[in-house]
Amino acid sequence: MASLEFEPDFIQPIEHRPKLQIIEEDGIPLIDLSPLNLNFSEPNWDLVAKIGDACRKWGFFQVINHGVPAEVRERIESAAKEFFALPKEEKRKASRDQVNLFGYSDFEITKSVRDWKEIFDCTIENPTVIYASDEPDDKELKELTNKWPEYPPDLRDVCEMYSAEMQKLTYKLLGLIALSMGLPEDRLHSLFKNQTSFMRLNYYPPCPAPELALGLGRHKDAGAMTILLQDDVGGLEVKRKSDGEWIFVKPTPDAYIVNVGDLIQVWSNDKYESVEHRVTVNSQKERFSIPYFINPSHDVWIQPLEELVSEQSPAKYKGYSWGKFYATRKLSNFKKLTTENIQVHHFKL
268 interacts with ligand OGA by CB under 6 A: no
Among 236, 238, 264, 275, binds ligand OGA (CB under 6 A): 236
Half-sphere exposure of 235 (CA within 13 A, CB side): 33
Partners of 277 in beta bridges: 219, 238
Q: Which is nearer to Ni ion, 221 or 262 (CB)?
A: 221
274 interacts with ligand OGA by CB under 6 A: no
Q: Which amino acid is at 196?
A: T
Q: Are 295 and 302 in contact (CB under 8 A)?
A: no
Q: Are 274 and 221 in contact (CB under 8 A)?
A: yes
170 interacts with ligand OGA by CB under 6 A: no
Among 27, 175, 217, 291, binds ligand OGA (CB under 6 A): 291
Q: How far apart are CA 314 and CA 309, in angstroms?
A: 5
Three-state DSSP class for residue 347: helix
User: Smallest distance from the beta carbon of 115 to ligand OGA, in angstroms?
Assistant: 9
Q: How far apart are CA 306 and CA 322, in angstroms?
A: 17
- Residue showing the smallest CB distance to Ni ion in the complex: 221
Nearest 5°: CA angle at 122, between 120 and 127? 155
Q: Which is nearer to Ni ion, 176 or 216 (CB)?
A: 216
Q: Which amino acid is at 41?
A: S
Best CA proximity match to 197, nearest among 95, 129, 103, 120: 129
User: Smallest distance from the beta carbon of 18 to ligand OGA, in angstroms?
Assistant: 13
Residue 348 exposed, middle or buried by CB count within 10 Å (0-12, 13-18, 19+): exposed
Among 179, 279, 294, 302, binds ligand OGA (CB under 6 A): 279
End-to-end CA distance of the chain: 49
User: Smallest distance from the beta carbon of 116 to ligand OGA, in angstroms?
Assistant: 11
Binds 236: which of ligand OGA, Ni ion, none (CB < 5-8 Å by kind): ligand OGA
Binding residues for Ni ion, rule CB under 5 A, total 1
Helix runs in the chain, H state only:
45-57, 70-84, 88-92, 155-180, 262-267, 322-332
Binds 264: which of ligand OGA, Ni ion, none (CB < 5-8 Å by kind): none
Cα 72 to the center of its chain, rounded Å: 19
Q: How far apart are CA 131 and CA 128, in angstroms?
A: 10
Binds 228: which of Ni ion, ligand OGA, none (CB < 5-8 Å by kind): ligand OGA
216 interacts with ligand OGA by CB under 6 A: yes
Among 121, 221, 237, 262, binds Ni ion (CB under 5 A): 221
230 interacts with ligand OGA by CB under 6 A: yes
Best CA proximity match to 316, nearest among 270, 264, 261, 262: 270
Q: Which is nearer to Ni ion, 52 or 223 (CB)?
A: 223
Binds 230: which of Ni ion, ligand OGA, none (CB < 5-8 Å by kind): ligand OGA
User: Smallest distance from the beta carbon of 142 to ligand OGA, in angstroms?
Assistant: 24
Q: Which is nearer to ligand OGA, 118 or 221 (CB)?
A: 221
178 interacts with ligand OGA by CB under 6 A: no
276 interacts with Ni ion by CB under 5 A: no
Three-state DSSP class for residue 173: helix
Binds 271: which of Ni ion, ligand OGA, none (CB < 5-8 Å by kind): none
DSSP for residue 195: B
Q: How far apart are CA 91 and CA 84, in angstroms?
A: 7
The region of 43-51, 136-144, 228-236, 317-325 touching ligand OGA under the rule CB under 6 A is: 228-236
Residues interacting with ligand OGA, by CB under 6 A? 200, 202, 216, 221, 228, 230, 236, 277, 279, 289, 291
For Ni ion, the binding residues (CB under 5 A) are 221
